[in-house]
Amino acid sequence: MGAIQNMSRRNFVKVIGLASGGLVIGCQFVSDKNEIVRIDDGTTFTPNLFVQLKKDGTLILLASRSEMGQGVRTSLTSVIADEMDADWNFVTVAQATGDSKFGNQNTDGSRSIRTIFEPMRKMGATARAILISAAAKKWNIASSACKTENHYVINTTSNEKLFYGDLVTDAMKIEVPTEVSLKEKKDFNYIGKQLKSVDLTDFTHGTAVYGIDARLPNMKFAAIARCPSTFGTVKSVDKTATLEITGVEQVVELERVKRPFGMMGGVAVIASNTWAAFQGKNNLEIVWNKGSNGRYDSEKYMQKITNRVHNKAKVVPPTKGNITTAFKEASSVIEATYQMPHLAHAPMEVPNALAWVYDGKCEIWAPVQAPQATKTEVASYLGIDEEHITIHVTFLGGGFGRKSKPDFVVEAVALSKKMNVPVQVVWTREDDIQNAYYHTTSAQYLKGALDKNGTVTGWLHRTAFPSIVSTFKPMSDYGAGFEFGQGFNNNQFDIEHMRFENAKAEAHVRIGWLRSVCHIYHSFGINSFVDELAAKAGKDPLQFNLDLIGKDKIRKEKSPFPLNTKRLKNVLKTAAKKANWGKKLPEGHGIGLAVHYSFYTYVASIVEVSVKNNKLKVQQIHTAVDCGMVVNKDTVTNQLEGAAIFGMSVALHGKITAKDGAIEQSNFHDYQMTRMSETPNIDVTIIESDEAPTGIGEPGVPPIAPAIANAIFNATGKRYRTFPLSEHGLV
Amino acid sequence: MKTLTINGKSHSIEAQDDMPLLWAIRDIIGLTGTKYGCGVSQCGACSVLLDGQVIRSCSIPVTYAEGKEIVTIEGQSDTLNYLREAWVDGNVPQCGYCQSGQLIAATALLDSNANPTEEDINNAMSGNICRCGTYPRIKKAIYKAIELKNK
């Protein structure tokens, strides 16, 4: 056992740490007595490893990213299993608790596969190399005379076989290799194939445990009334009616924690079941101090930021050429304004957390996208070291960015501390819609110049949106670089004169990231405006887009994955071919396209709609994606299908409004989602690629809404520049 | 004391009369496969079968379910099992949270209509929201389950 302990730490840091920025992780072998091999100094129990092999062959692989529907528990572990030549039937997946030992577990930004594909491959390859060494030693042959296949090491000379499980004891004595070789693409068993989710049995029998399903003996249930206007406070509370409700035990006031992910504060009702807590909350008579956001009126606010983008604003680099000259010399100039409202994430599982604070420790069961950020938040609240906090990451019933922000966990922790029992906080759907970290609202103004050939010579783009930074740093009234980088000042076009401007936009609600983030509105503005320019120039939108993207080139930029215009044009051409672009359409039908590069992935969508009696029906969506090497084809397809539905919700229904500081929507009747009856045929084409893998959770969303708007224009000649379409009577 | 029959098993519970069936099932009996999504019959996550009919358990008082056969996602039926097989075959779920309700709604559909048209499916399933957007796969899986059932 000694050898692996001493060598593993050093070597794993070397093998894996370098590739992934300091991961201290490795493979661990467990005897049938469940005796854990310790990997550091041999005195502490450190279950910080991704691979555990048991004598019966059971292979426990750890998923370090949260599962919220993107299939990450399957994709990440299949990468380890593939390099290990493991038999998938022996694999079970365990979920990593939020601990720095597992590396960064933050699950957002469509980056799990992009950032830890290589480290996970090395993890599997290292385990395989150790098993080979163990077998070679047993046979007294060179490792090079061995190969592996489906959970066995094979002696290539004698054709003898050794089962992985039978090598556990010997493998513990093998030093960790300093170098391992990775498979060639042609040898992959799982990567690039269509493995099904490892969790299907649980998903289809109701046995998958989400945060809201976590149970502990003697636990209490809590619901919290929060001020309708952001950061308002409790002036007075009458709890008489609440305390009369059967099951309600106590009413507790909570102070706001002034941190980005701190809780909002309010009045909590502690009860013996969720229903009593909900009812208790609804029966509270609270008078609120509405605070500085108490007059927020999102309609008036939209007018304000729209006026601002109609005037000169703060210049954002890069400026190219001289936009004034471009407009002066143009043979025609067009301009347009695009508006989008706030959105709420509305994951099907509402925010919730079960916390138990005891003996200076804290244990949490919660559906969190960022277990480590959660730990930091809880440590800060309790004033204890992070080592005393354990985060059990449950399944997430959807995340979409909402569950990156653990304010709901802090609430549960605060109440458990006050009550000295485990407490589960459950948000009602109304709470979820009315106290979210909203996707920002936005106004954009675009002005373009065309020469006599219909070539775009000038591009002015102004954007205004309350920034996500405002959640972290109050009074941040302008957009940040990372927000501009999401499809605004880095668009794919090579136009002679370009200018970007950002207008002021103060935040009056908590602004957060929602699946695809700023790409949603920037893609809407850009793809709509290019379609308008094509119409003005009298050109086919497909060819117009391809011309505007220009010749094949890899953009010079500080990025591990610089924009490759060839790949961008290829997804557009592929989608167009699948959609049979140019075909004759039935009466009342129209077709539209959008292409967008986000999270280093290239996506184009072509949408066919029909508009009859002013009623819209999305008929067909063809999406083509290039996300580099694909780990799991079916997961990619599923994500793109889901992104199309998500994008339809944005385009057709999504609207959160505020009046007198309070959100006007409350549940799915007034904050509608796409439903099955609205679902079109969705066809997804994945481009074969050997490039490094990039994100897939988000990139499918941005092209959908503008492609729908462009298709409606194609069908009716009417241009919709304000979403959602339900506001125009189309839905 | 109230008695509920869930998946063929009898449960005696203490619950106030107006408690929705959902919370009796989840918080008192402890079967957590049935989900809370909206509380107002808008999303279908809480769907269960009550004497074979699909109902939204978030909006039905527990007293209404007394003396009736309740089937939840933890239960068994031939139709439900065919649907499960089809769901697995089509790798339907993403986050999985709404799938209990989807499977229960589909069970009620196929139990009452052996060969539904696409419109029948849309009508039966449009009360169930899937925020991940697995509708195309759900629909395909329903067709597949019909095929399995008719074999």
Tell me, yes or no, whether A51 and A67 share the same domain: yes
- Rg of chain A over all Cα atoms, to the nearest angstrom: 28
Residues A525 and A656 in one domain: yes
B102–A contact, CB cutoff 8 A:
no
Q: Give the C-alpha separation, A270 to A273, whole Å.
A: 9
CA A150 to each of CA A84, A189, A634, A650: distance values in angstroms, whole numbers, following the listed order: 9, 9, 22, 45
Nearest to B135 among A275, A399, A645 (CB): A645
What residue numbers bound the domain in which B23 lies?
2-71
> How close is the nearest chain B Cα to the Cα of A488, in Å?
27
Do A650 and A510 share a structural domain?
Answer: yes
Is the reported ipTM for this assembly greater than 0.95?
Answer: yes
Mean pLDDT of B16-36: 97
Model pLDDT, residue A192: 92
Q: Alpha-carbon distance A249 to A253, whole Å? A: 14
Q: Considering chain A, what is the average pLDDT of its residues?
A: 91
φ, ψ of residue A389 in degrees (nearest 5): -115, 130
CB contacts, 8 Å: A676 with chain B: 121-122, 125-126, 128, 135, 138-139
Over residues A644-663, the pLDDT tens digits come to: 999 999 999 999 999 999 99
CATH number at residue B139: 1.10.150.120
Last residue within a domain, chosen from A373, A402, A426: A426
Q: Where does a domain end: B55, B71, B87? A: B71
Q: In chain B, what is the greatest distance between 2 CA atoms, to the nearest angstrom?
A: 46
Domain that holds residue A679: 298-341+438-728
Number of domains into which chain B is organized: 2
| B62 and B105 assigned to the same domain | no
Residues B95 and B60 in one domain: no
The number of C-beta contacts closer than 8 angstroms across A and B is 178
Q: Across the interface, do B126 and A675 touch by the CB < 8 Å criterion?
A: yes
Q: If pLDDT is split at 50, 70 and 90, which confidence band does A335 have? A: very high
Asked if B99 and A667 come within 8 Å (Cβ–Cβ), the reply is no
Domain's final residue, options B49, B71, B93: B71
**How buried is B77 (Cβ within 10 angstroms: 0-12 exposed, 13-18 middle, 19+ buried)?**
middle
- The yes-or-no verdict on residue A50 having pLDDT over 90 is no
Residue A108 has pLDDT above 90, yes or no: no
Same domain, A470 and A504: yes
Separation of alpha carbons A166 and A57, rounded Å = 8
Cβ distance A667 to B42 less than 8 Å, yes or no, reads yes
Cis-peptide, bond into residue A699, ω within 30° of zero:
no
Residue that is last in its domain, among A145, A175, A205: A205
Answer yes or no: do A285 and A192 share one domain: no
Reading the block at residue A385, the tokens are 């070291």
pLDDT tens-digit series, residues A35-47: 223 242 222 222 2
Question: What percent of chain A has a predicted confidence (pLDDT) above 70?
Answer: 93
End-of-domain residue from the set B48, B71, B94:
B71
pLDDT at A441 > cutoff 60: yes
- A556 plus A619 within the same structural domain: yes
Over the stretch A349-390, which tens digit does the pLDDT of each residue have? Answer: 999 999 999 999 999 999 999 999 999 999 999 999 999 999
Q: Note whether A475 and A532 are same-domain residues.
A: yes
pLDDT value, residue A579: 98
Indicate whether A431 belongs to any domain. no
Residue A636 lies in a domain: yes
Question: Region A542-569: what's the mean pLDDT?
Answer: 95
Residue pLDDT, tens place only, A504-555 = 999 999 999 999 999 999 999 999 999 999 999 999 999 999 999 999 999 9
The reported pLDDT for the residue numbered A175 is 77
Burial class (CB in 10 A: 0-12, 13-18, 19+), A319: middle
- Cα separations (Å) of A140 from A144, A155, A672? 12, 10, 67
A4 — pLDDT class (breaks 50, 70, 90): very low
Residue A278 lies in a domain: yes
- A165 occurs within a structural domain: yes
Q: Which of B88, B100, B134 sits opposite A196 (nearest CB)?
A: B88
Question: Would A407 be classed as within a structural domain?
Answer: yes
Same domain, B61 and B97: no
Q: Is B123 on the interface with A (CB under 8 A)?
A: yes
User: Residue A652's domain is classified under what CATH number?
Assistant: 3.30.365.10
Pairwise CA distance, residues A534 & A369, whole Å: 41
> Do A335 and A367 reside in the same domain of the chain?
no
In this structure, the answer to whether residues A255 and A303 fall within a common structural domain is no
Identify the pLDDT of residue A49.
63
- Say which of B84, B100, B125 has its CB closest to residue A676: B125
B83 and B59 part of one domain: no
Nearest by CB to B97, from A348, A667, A668: name it: A348
pLDDT of residue A545: 98
Per-residue pLDDT, averaged over A419-440, amounts to 98
Residue B90 contacts A, CB cutoff 8 Å: no
Tell whether A365 is within 8 A of chain B (Cβ).
Answer: no
Same domain, A145 and A103: yes
Express each pLDDT in A185-200 by its tens digit.
999 999 999 999 999 9
Q: How many domains does chain A have?
A: 3
pLDDT per residue as tens digits for the range A261-290: 999 999 999 999 999 999 999 999 999 999
pLDDT tens for each residue of B126-139:
999 999 999 999 99
Say if residue B8 is in the same domain as residue B62.
yes
Q: pLDDT (tens digit, 9 = 90+) per residue, B67-78?
A: 999 999 999 999
Chain A residue numbers with beta carbons less than 8 Å from the beta carbon of B98 are 348, 397
Q: Are residues B32 and B87 in the same domain?
A: no
Percent of chain B whose predicted confidence (pLDDT) is above 90? 99
